């Protein structure tokens, strides 16, 4: 049957679209169109997802509130309150009785502590409340009473409590183990506020079914722990501000982690033991034998007149067969006043995206050369009196040799030369944008100075996020004579046919022998564009033996 009217589409078609829309907007836009849509919205299988958001403006928010009150309560599956103005009035406009028989998820943002205590007893009557989130920016101190009320919600599976301004010096979790209290059904627990190990012990006692746990430890270096029974724990996420590696290791020794699949650790402290790959290997082999995914973020702070000590261990230890077999990669990011050392599952590298394999398979030799550093900020001297980018690079180089450099901000040619001067074995260079206009065109003298740097002799792969003028490309090629692969992710106001003509002509004139692959990302790329570019290259004799193809929005030109 042919479809000629919008109403002719199936209910399932509309429900799939409505799943991305605010329930209030759906009701306002479709309820009064005609009988077909009225019946569609009243159908027992349809569920409303409501979001009341004051960031959209007070008038709109009040309108959303009025619309939501008109909805059939037994069709509402989730409500997300995001309001910092008159939020008590909004929260309590819903009575949350048993008539909300399909309500499964509630999110309360910017909520006041006393409102949490008033709301929780009302939620007991909700027969299908599986997910509950409270986020507050107030100074919340009495966490214990909140958790006691939460544990009375017998259907609850997911619970998150986030308190932005809470500190471990003024909170009172006061949640003693109560043997005769019913145990909670919570399986997914996010404790996004300061929590000591002793307090965590009490929470875990009341939630024996937890399989996903995240908690924040602000300032705790206890040395004595009790064993925690977490026999179902599959995912563990820890964020800690002052926890030493010794404390962390001792804490893990008191957990049953035999079925743990995912471990995520984020620490803010100066303790080089977090960079000891051998200790990590021993912990994982001994305590977490079934670990599949491992995420580490170890943040080392830099301050004026205070720099962390140079790493004293062996460099490159995270590139052994242990890490290769698990496909976990170690990378470093320099970001403002921190160096961030991270571990995460290896993804395909940008310079391998042209390969047909959906999932790249790397050899051990290739893996050991994936030593990447990302620079978010290249000029700390603009903010600090005593720090330069070389102070950061010196610290990084003691931990890992650098093969790949990724610069996330626009950088001028001279600054780039200064950075690359100390990196003599780079294989790839990825730049957001190179600036050559601030001081005029790059001079022969500048190129001569740069040509003396050993790093220029090793770079074989270059990626530019965007270019605004062709001269930027010519500069890159001038100081990377061994370049084999060039990628450009955005041609800003440069027509691709004109760019290709200039680029390939330059290669012929300069007799660049090594470059064999060019990738250009063009959002409007299609088969017609590919055919036109092929004709241009052939008709103007720019290349003899070449292939030109497209993978989504990327155009790949290869030649011999």
Would residue 31 count as lying in a domain?
A: no
Q: Compute the average pLDDT of residues 22-37.
A: 84
pLDDT digits (tens, 9 = 90+) for 154-210: 999 999 999 977 665 555 555 555 556 678 999 999 999 988 888 898 899 899 999
Is pLDDT above 90 for 5? no
Residue 372 lies in a domain: no
DSSP letter (8 states) at residue 467: B
CA distances from 82 to 51, 64, 100, 192 (A): 7, 12, 20, 18
Q: Is the pLDDT of residue 1 over 70?
A: no
Tokens standing for residue 214: 């995240």
29 has a pLDDT exceeding 90? no
**What would the DSSP string read from start to end of 214-250?**
EEEESS--------B--TT--EEEEEESS--HHHHHH
**pLDDT at position 358:** 53
Is residue 57 scored above 60 in pLDDT?
A: no
Cα separation of 510 and 514, whole Å? 12
In tens, the pLDDT along 529-543 reads 999 999 999 999 999
Under the phi-then-psi rule, with left for phi > 0, alpha for psi from -120 to 50, and beta for the rest, what region is 68? alpha
Q: Is residue 549 part of a domain?
A: yes
Instruction: Report the CATH number that the domain containing residue 548 is assigned in CATH.
Output: 3.30.110
- The structure tokens listed for 239 are 């964020």
At residue 270 the predicted structure's pLDDT band, cuts being 50, 70 and 90, is very high
* In a domain? residue 341: yes
495 located within any domain = yes
Q: How confident is the model at residue 448 (pLDDT cuts 50, 70, 90)?
A: low
Specify whether the CB–CB gap between 91 and 111 falls below 8 A: yes
Closest-CA residue to 106 (of 184, 44, 52, 164): 52
Q: Which residues neighbour 442 within 8 Å (Cβ) at sequence distance 6 or greater?
A: 413, 436, 471, 475, 478
As a whole number, the mean pLDDT across the chain is 87
Residues 159 and 222: their CA atoms lie apart, in Å, by: 26
Q: What is the DSSP letter of 269?
A: S
* pTM tops 0.85: yes
Q: What are phi and psi of 206, to 5 degrees?
A: -85, -5
pLDDT for position 445: 54
Out of 350, 380, 412, a domain closes at 350
**Exposed, middle or buried: residue 509 (CB in 10 Å: 0-12, 13-18, 19+)?**
exposed
Residue 256 inside a domain? The answer is yes
376 or 43, which is more confident: 376
In a domain, 39, yes or no: no
Residue 485 in domain: yes
| Dist. CA 279–CA 306, nearest whole Å | 27
pLDDT at 537: 96
pLDDT at 354: 84
Which pLDDT score, from 0 to 100, does residue 323 have? 98
pLDDT in tens, 295-354: 999 999 998 888 899 999 999 999 999 999 999 999 999 998 899 999 999 999 999 988
C-alpha to C-alpha distances, 462 to 335, 426, 521, nearest whole angstrom: 22, 11, 14
Share of the chain above pLDDT 70, in %: 88
Q: Which of 321, 350, 379 is the last residue of a domain?
A: 350
pLDDT at 49: 92
pLDDT at 442 over 70: no
pLDDT over threshold 70, residue 454: no
CA distance linking residue 524 with residue 533, whole number of Å: 14
Of 373, 371, 295, 305, the C-alpha closest to 334 is 373
Give me the mean pLDDT over the 86-108 stretch: 86
Neighbours of 332 (CB within 10 A): 23
Q: Burial code of 510-528, b = ≥16 C-beta within 10 A, e = fewer?
A: eebeebebbbbbbeebeee
Percent of the chain surpassing pLDDT 90: 55
Range of the domain at 283: 244-303+311-350
Q: In the structure encoding, which two tokens stand for residue 246, read together?
A: 């010794």
Cα-based torsion angle of the residue sequence 546, 550, 555, 560 in order, rounded to the nearest 10 degrees: -20
Residue 28: its pLDDT value, please? 79
pLDDT value at 438 more than 60: no
Q: Cα-flanking dihedrals φ and ψ of residue 473, to 5°?
A: -65, -40
> Residue 286: pLDDT above 70?
yes
Residue 547 pairs in a beta bridge with: 558
Q: Which of residues 133 and 379 earns the better pLDDT score?
A: 133
CA 533 to chain centroid = 37
Domain total of the chain? 2
Structure token pair of residue 160: 């998150």
What is the per-residue pLDDT across 379-434, written as a single tens digit (0 to 9) for each?
988 888 888 999 999 999 999 999 999 999 999 888 898 898 888 889 999 999 99
- How far apart CA 427 and CA 482 sit, in angstroms, is 10
Burial label for 531, CB within 10 Å (0-12, 13-18, 19+), is exposed
- Check if the beta carbon of residue 551 is closer than 8 Å to that of residue 509: no
Using the Cα atoms of residue 281, residue 282, residue 284 and residue 290 in order, give the sign of their dihedral: positive
Which of 139-148, 221-230, 440-449, 533-542 comes out lowest in average pLDDT?
440-449
């Amino acid at each position: 049957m042919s479809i000629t009217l919008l109403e002719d589409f199936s209910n399932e078609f509309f429900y799939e679209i409505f799943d991305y829309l605010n329930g209030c907007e759906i009701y306002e836009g479709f309820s009064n169109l005609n009988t077909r849509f009225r019946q569609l919205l009243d159908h027992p299988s349809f569920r409303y997802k409501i979001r009341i958001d004051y960031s959209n403006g007070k008038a709109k928010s009040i309108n959303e509130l009025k619309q939501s009150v008109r909805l059939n309560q037994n069709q509402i599956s989730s409500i997300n309150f995001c309001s910092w103005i008159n939020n008590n009035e909004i929260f309590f406009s819903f009575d949350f009785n048993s008539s909300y028989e399909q309500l499964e998820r509630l999110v309360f943002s910017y909520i006041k502590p006393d409102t949490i205590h008033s709301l929780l007893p009302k939620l007991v009557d909700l027969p299908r409340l599986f997910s509950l989130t409270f986020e507050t920016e107030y100074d919340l101190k009495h966490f214990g009473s909140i958790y006691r009320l939460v544990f009375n919600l017998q259907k609850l599976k997911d619970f998150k409590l986030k308190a932005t301004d809470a500190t471990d010096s003024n909170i009172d979790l006061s949640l003693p183990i109560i043997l005769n209290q019913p145990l909670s059904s919570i399986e997914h627990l996010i404790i996004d506020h300061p929590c000591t190990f002793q307090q965590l012990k009490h929470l875990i006692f009341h939630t024996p079914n937890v399989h996903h746990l995240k908690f924040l430890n602000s300032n705790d270096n206890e040395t004595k722990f009790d064993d925690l029974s977490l026999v179902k724990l599959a995912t563990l996420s820890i964020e800690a501000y002052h926890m030493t590696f010794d404390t962390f290791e001792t804490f893990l020794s008191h957990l049953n982690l035999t079925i743990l699949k995912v471990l995520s650790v984020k620490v803010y402290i100066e303790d080089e033991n977090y960079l000891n790959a051998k200790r990590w290997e021993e912990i994982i082999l001994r305590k977490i034998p079934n670990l599949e995914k491992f995420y580490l973020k170890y943040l080392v702070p830099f301050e004026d007149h205070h720099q962390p000590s140079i790493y004293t261990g062996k460099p490159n230890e995270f590139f052994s067969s242990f890490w290769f077999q698990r496909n976990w990669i170690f990378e470093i990011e320099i970001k403002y006043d921190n160096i961030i050392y991270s571990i995460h599952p290896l993804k395909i590298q940008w310079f391998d995206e042209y390969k047909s394999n959906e999932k790249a398979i790397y050899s051990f030799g290739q893996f050991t050369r994936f030593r990447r550093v990302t620079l978010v900020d290249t000029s700390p001297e603009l903010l600090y009196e005593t720090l330069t980018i070389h102070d950061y690079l010196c610290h990084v180089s003691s931990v890992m040799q650098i093969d790949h450099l990724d610069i996330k901000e626009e950088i001028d040619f001279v600054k780039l030369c200064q950075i690359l001067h100390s990196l003599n074995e780079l294989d790839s260079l990825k730049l957001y944008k190179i600036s050559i206009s601030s001081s005029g065109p790059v001079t022969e003298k500048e190129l001569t100075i740069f040509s003396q740097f050993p790093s220029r002799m090793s770079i074989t792969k270059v990626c530019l996020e965007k270019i605004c003028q062709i001269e930027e490309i010519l500069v890159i090629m001038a100081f990377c004579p061994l370049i084999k692969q060039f990628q450009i992710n955005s041609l800003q106001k440069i027509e691709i046919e004109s760019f290709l003509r200039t680029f390939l002509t330059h290669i012929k004139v300069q007799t660049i022998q090594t470059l064999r692959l060019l990738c250009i990302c063009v959002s409007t790329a299609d088969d017609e564009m590919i055919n036109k570019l092929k004709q241009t290259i052939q008709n103007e004799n720019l290349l003899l033996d070449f292939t030109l193809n497209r993978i989504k929005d990327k155009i790949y030109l290869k030649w011999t």
